[in-house]
């Protein structure tokens, strides 16, 4: 198993929770993105398309089982989030071209809040900013959003969410949890 190690010798993983994107949706998103004829940025590989729920950052490897156990205890009885990615934006500060949701479903906000609360006892604290569901299309993007020949309108009905490890530009699923349908 490949592991990164902190200067003190403690192994860690770079982790985040996300809603995965189906293969059919990845193809549709990649095809739509090709139509943008991007002249800036580095396109995110379609295999990496996802909607982040909670970014954990660098986490000691020994803490991963406790994180999974905390999420196992969540009561996920609310309806699965249904998300529409329908707005193309440039996040200047992050230098990213993203698809955002104009409306964030309450079920999605509840899921994110539940994850944050479940991980607080483990010392995992959420970023101090408002949650904005998005899918990153390109990194290192500069300028205004490109003109699209068709408006973005991608519907994501999540059946589960996943804990991913980010390793050398690829995202590896470590665990997943079902969502109500």
Can 160 be counted among the known catalytic residues? no
What's the CA gap between 16 and 27, in Å, rounded? 23
pLDDT band, very low/low/confident/very high, at 149 (cuts 50, 70, 90): confident
The answer, yes or no, to whether residue 4 has pLDDT greater than 70, is no
Catalytic residue, chosen from 19, 53, 134, 136, is: 134
Task: Classify domain 13-178 at the CATH class level.
Answer: alpha beta
Catalytic residue, chosen from 50, 56, 83, 98, is: 50
Average of pLDDT values for 29-50? 95
Q: Domain locations in the chain?
A: 13-178
The candidate with the shortest Cα–Cα distance to 71, out of 160, 134, 158, 133, is: 160
Can 50 be counted among the known catalytic residues? yes
pLDDT tens for 85-137 read: 999 999 999 999 999 999 999 989 999 999 999 999 998 776 677 899 999 99
Percent of the chain's residues with pLDDT above 90: 70
Q: Is the pTM of this model over 0.85?
A: yes
Percent of the chain's residues with pLDDT above 70: 91
pLDDT band, very low/low/confident/very high, at 3 (cuts 50, 70, 90): low
Average of pLDDT values for 70-81? 80
What's residue 169's pLDDT? 85
The answer, yes or no, to whether residue 1 has pLDDT greater than 50, is no
């Amino acid at each position: 198993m490949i592991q990164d190690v902190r200067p003190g010798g403690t192994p860690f993983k770079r982790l985040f929770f996300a809603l995965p994107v189906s293969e059919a949706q990845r193809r549709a998103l990649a095809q739509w993105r090709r139509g943008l004829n991007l002249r800036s940025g580095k396109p995110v590989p379609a295999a990496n398309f996802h909607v982040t729920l909670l970014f954990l950052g660098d986490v000691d490897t020994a803490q991963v089982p406790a994180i999974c156990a905390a999420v196992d205890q969540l009561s996920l009885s609310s309806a699965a989030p249904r998300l529409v990615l329908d707005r193309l934006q440039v996040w200047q500060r992050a230098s990213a071209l993203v698809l955002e949701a104009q409306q964030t479903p309450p079920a999605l906000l509840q899921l994110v809040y539940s994850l944050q609360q479940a991980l607080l006892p483990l010392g995992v604290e959420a970023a101090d900013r408002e949650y904005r569901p998005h899918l990153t299309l390109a990194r290192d993007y500069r300028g205004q959003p490109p003109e699209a020949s068709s408006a973005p309108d991608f519907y994501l009905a999540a059946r589960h969410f996943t804990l991913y490890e980010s390793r050398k530009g690829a995202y590896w699923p470590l665990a997943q949890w079902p969502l109500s349908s």
